Amino acid sequence: MNIVVATPTGHVGSHVARSLIQAGVKPTLLARKPTVLDPELLERSRVFEVDLANREAVLAATEKADALFWVSPPTDDDDPLQGYARMANNAAAAVTTHRIPRVVFQSSVGAEARHGFGEIDGLAHTEVLLDQTGASVAHLRCGYFFSNLLFDLESLRQGKLITPWPLDYSMAWVAPRDIAGVAVGRLLSPYWQGRVVQAVHGPEDLSFTEVAALLSEVLGRPIHAERISEAALADTLRAIGRSDRQIEATVGMSRGFLTGFEPELPRNLLSTTYTTLAAWAYQELRPLF
């Protein structure tokens, strides 16, 4: 079975690749920088050096694929939505050209709205294009990644958990490893077909106040949640060189969730995974402090 995995160095893709190998599959990995892959992973995989924005490279690497795990990574385009559109077109072209029968796409909660969610709109567009290929497609609508906390290490070391969301706003938080588990199950299973939308919500919904309290306990230091305004977030992004369109794509993600939005798929057996934020933080975050 030839299962192609995009972004095998990512928080989810790395677990997908490892789990497929443990299941006896020799995956095909599309890596922008293959040299950063674990040597053991390289030995047990077929590896292509691929920029997912390069159509010819994507087409060459996905030939004879039996299944595809697709992730559209963040883009450096001045307009991120254009970057997502280009990668979406490449994914759809690969599926159509090679008649790849099954695709698992790492999407996001909010994509069901189709518009008004900033960068997530790019994932919504990808869902639409993949649906048009005629393949069996599973869209994984994922919650807020635990690993996003790794981008806030400097603030956390100062005792602050900064967010543009209201501090009592509760949403799904999920471990990347759990997303990978759902993805691998879909990639290996012959028991589904057609269009499937599956939420991956993690074990519980959490507010940033609750997350700060939990991190205080895990890290052994006081962490306080602090809300910043859209303007303050935009100023911070502008200070590190982000363009106006890039800033809007980031700010738009949080804005979309504050319009009375409710996820299309509820929390239930299919959407609830097991790894708690505390368990993840003890393993991944605590050693960094």
Q: For residue 89, what pLDDT is reported?
A: 98
Q: Which domains does the chain have, with CATH numbers?
A: 3-145+174-202+262-274 (3.40.50.720)
The dihedrals phi and psi of 283, each to the nearest 5 degrees, come to -85, -40
- Cα separation, 151 vs 136, in Å, equals 34
Q: Is the dihedral of CA 43, 45, 46, 47 positive or negative?
A: negative
Q: For residue 164, what pLDDT is reported?
A: 95
CB 105 within 8 Å of CB 139: yes
- Cα separation, 126 vs 240, in Å, equals 28
What's 259-275 look like in SS3?
CCCCCCCCCCCCCCCCC
Give the pTM.
Answer: 0.96
The residues with which 106 forms a beta bridge, in sequence order, are 140
Per-residue pLDDT of the chain (289 residues; tens, 9 = 90+): 999 999 999 999 999 999 999 999 999 999 999 999 999 999 999 999 999 999 999 999 999 999 999 999 999 899 999 999 999 999 999 999 999 999 999 999 999 999 999 999 999 999 999 999 999 999 999 999 999 999 999 999 999 999 999 999 999 999 999 999 999 999 999 999 999 999 999 999 999 999 999 999 999 999 999 999 999 999 999 999 999 999 999 999 999 999 889 999 999 999 999 999 999 999 999 999 9
In angstroms, the Cα distances linking 15 to 20, 34, 45, 166 are: 9, 16, 14, 32
Q: For residue 227, what pLDDT is reported?
A: 97
Q: Please identify which residue in the block is written with the tokens 């967010």.
A: 163
Q: For residue 47, what pLDDT is reported?
A: 97
Q: For residue 255, what pLDDT is reported?
A: 93
Q: How many CA atoms lie within 13 A of 202 on its CB side?
A: 25
Q: For residue 136, what pLDDT is reported?
A: 98
CB 185 within 8 Å of CB 102: no
Q: At what angle do helices 13-22 and 176-188 cross, to 10 degrees?
A: 50
Q: For residue 69, what pLDDT is reported?
A: 98
Q: Is the dihedral of CA 32, 38, 41, 45 positive or negative?
A: positive
